[in-house]
Chains A and B, each alone.
Chain A
Amino acid sequence: MMRRIFSGHNTCCRKIVMPDSSTEFHTKRSFLKYLMVFVSGFIGVFSSWGIARFVFSGTGQKLDRTISKELFESINRERPYFIPQVGAWVVKRQTLSESEALDDRCTHLGCRYKWNQDKDLFECPCHGSEFDIQGQVFRGPATRHLPRLYLTEAPSQMLRISEHRPRK
């Protein structure tokens, strides 16, 4: 039986006749082949995991963001409070269901807006859009209101910030 192996050089290839044997030896090329298979497999598995998570989380709880109840309790009422970990401004009201949250990105071109206490408005530093405390457009160039988020109870003393309105 014949086996064909290649030398390490790109430019030449030789046919070497070898006895059929159980003797295994690795050339530079076969080592690189195994290495490539291993690296590609690793990248493949890693990316498949990300793709699977992206594909299978189109709906449901995985879209939500959570904060601790303790943090929520510490917030002053009727004053917007920014929580960078979840990318949202939270406005605490009398009850949890009345409280609301707003996505922290301007609807104009996606900059992070800030709360201006003197004007009682959210101001976008990029192009000057202004929104009221409920996220309604006060001044352009933005034309869309800020995306409203809802706060609901979650397990383990947590609160979920979700874009879905809670069911009553």
Chain B
Amino acid sequence: MRRDSLAAFLEHIHPKLVPEISTRLSFTFCLGGLATAMFLVEIMTGALLMLYYFPSISNAYPSIQRVMYFAPYGFVFRNIHYWAGQAMVILVLVHMVRVFLTQSYLPPRQLNWVIGVILLGLVFIEDFTGYLLVWDERAQWASTIARNLTEKIPYIGDGFASILFGPARVGDLCLIRLYAWHVLFLPAVLAFLMSIHYWKVRKDGGISRPL
């Protein structure tokens, strides 16, 4: 039974039959798939970097220096993590532009478009929290600015800022909160929404046709 379920799942992810036209590279440029590949690269290299990263105000930046200059191949893993993150943001953006230009947001794919827009927002937040974890001068100011901007949202701003950045203004609690968002909650939500996104692509009749 479990074997059958696995086979059915794989069949959905990679069906045996696909429309011939959709096998052309120029059809989608594999942008969604490449973004997913970058996400997997992020998870693998991020798991390695977690072995060295120390989420506290006084140790965060030195721990990154340790990865970059002391740990064997540390600079390779950190650079892959950094650049795959940037590539993921760009790929998701270009993917959205492609979907928009081919009018693939029209029914029956409207729900998948909404999920995709949410995914784009989450990828931005994921990238931004990673930028803050370095905790150099730039990250400290960026977190202060981001918090101030979040607090300006009418009615929910203060509460939302507390959820995102923690109760303290700039301190250990803020950094630990950002770390938890970056390594646990956001990737979990991203993975969940990406599964629905892929499932909906199949459910709505395969990848979208060109104009």
A135 at the interface (CB under 8 A from B): no
Known: A51-B48, A54-B48, A57-B72. 8 other contacts (CB 8 A): A50-B72, A54-B71, A54-B77, A57-B71, A103-B65, A103-B69, A142-B137, A163-B70
Which B residues lie within 8 Å of A87 (CB)? Answer: 69
Taking a contact as CB atoms under 8 Å apart, the answer to whether A54 and B74 are in contact is: yes
Chain A interface (Cβ < 8 Å from any Cβ of B)? 10-11, 50-51, 53-55, 57-58, 62-63, 87, 103, 105, 107-110, 141-144, 147, 163
What mask results when residues 66 to 92 of chain B are scored 1 for a CB within 8 Å of chain A, else 0? Answer: 100111111011000000000000000
Q: Establish whether residues A110 and B23, one from each chain, have CB atoms under 8 Å apart when the complex forms.
A: no
> Taking chain A's interface residues, is the majority helix, strand, or loop, or is none over half, making it mixed?
loop
Choice from A54, A63, A108 contacting B136 with Cβ under 8 Å: A108
Produce 1/0 per residue, B47-61, CB < 8 A to A. Answer: 010011000000001
* Cα–Cα distance between A69 and B72 once the two chains are bound (Å): 24
* Docked-complex contact A55 and B48, CB < 8 angstroms: yes
Q: Which A residues lie within 8 Å of B32 (CB)?
A: none
Q: A11–B62 Cα gap in the complex (Å)? A: 55
Task: Output the nearest chain A residue to B69 by Cβ-Cβ distance.
Answer: A87
Q: Is the CB of B61 within 8 A of A107?
A: yes
- With A55-B48, A62-B72, A63-B70 given, is the CB distance from A105 to B136 under 8 Å? no
